[in-house]
Amino acid sequence: MSTTELDGKTAVVTGAGGQIGGGIARELARAGSDVVLADVDVLDTAYNQQGSEDVHGAETAHALADEIETMGRRSMVVECDVTKADQVESMVDRTVEEFGALDVMVNNAGIITLSPVEELDEAEWDSVMDVNVKGVYLCAKASIPELRKSTGTMINTASIAGEIGAAGLGHYVASKHAVMGLTKCLALELAPDDVTVNAICPGIVNTPMWEKVLTPAMEGSYDEIIGDVIPLGRDQTPEDMGRLAVYFATNRNVTGEAVKVDGGITQNVI
């Protein structure tokens, strides 16, 4: 694969301070894109996999920006809570002011908590849905005018949870099903403008989601879970997700798709 497929392009990645967001940003940079890294240090709720309002996302993104610039690409960090329309609009405006265009919009920010529906707090439901669904909607809405100008691409991070159910994750599963549906609708709405819209569906990636929420709730260690549920016998990586993002950003005839990067998990559920 050429390392300059996206030369002259500008990408925005939300949730860039996380492992998956970071992997996507790195691979887009390796493919030639300048990258705007959007994240937030403090949330207005502790309902997320960190269990705290302090998530240090923008702080981590600054270190990633330095790394991207060593690749010879430009990078900028924007503190942005994707649930706040004014912050999202400012993120897009600052991107265009600094880089001249927006070509690749990656709606990656997401959170998870674990609770059966009967015990699920309304505020917990709202928090997960706000970040995972409303955040994609707000970022899509704000970026569409610029993507039309650049005939660009939108990439949404969904999940294998967008296709299957999981006890204790009703709110998260519902949010990812929503992202999958929104992706398909956006693909149809933007096809006349030659803008593609697709979704990445990660399987098991060694992130705080698995470290802090899912592994403690399951029997066995992380490595045992990998061996039990993934046919290929290994977990997935942030770079896997980034390479798929590059594919979506460079293939002009793929739209409305949700591609699983899960080592075969969803073929092994029955």
Mean pLDDT of 107-119: 96
- The Cα–Cα gap between 268 and 4 comes to 37
Sign of the Cα pseudo-torsion (179, 228, 125, 47, in order): negative
Q: Looking at residue 1, what is its pLDDT?
A: 34
**Residue with more model confidence, 197 or 42:** 197
Please pick, among 47, 172, 222, 247, the residue that the annotation labels catalytic: 172
Residue 253 has pLDDT above 90, yes or no: yes
What pLDDT was estimated at residue 2? Answer: 41
Specify whether 172 is catalytic.
Answer: yes
- Average pLDDT score over residue span 162-176: 94
**What average pLDDT does the chain have?**
94
The C-alpha angle 47, 244, 233, rounded to 5 degrees, equals 75
The domains of the chain are located at 10-205+237-264
pLDDT of residue 56: 78
Q: In what order do the strands lie in the sheet with 75-79?
A: 75-79, 34-39, 10-14, 104-107, 153-157, 196-202, 258-261
DSSP 169-181: -HHHHHHHHHHHH
Residue 42: per-residue pLDDT: 82
Average pLDDT over residues 49-71: 88
269 — pLDDT class (breaks 50, 70, 90): low
Residue 22 pLDDT greater than 50, yes or no: yes
Question: What's the whole-number mean pLDDT along residues 234-255?
Answer: 97
Q: What is the dihedral of CA 59, 212, 135, 60, to 10 degrees?
A: 10
10-205+237-264 has which fold? Rossmann fold (3.40.50)
HSE (CB half, 13 Å, CA atoms) of 212? 12
Per-residue pLDDT, averaged over 24-46, amounts to 93
> Which of 25-29, 41-45, 220-224 holds the top average pLDDT?
25-29
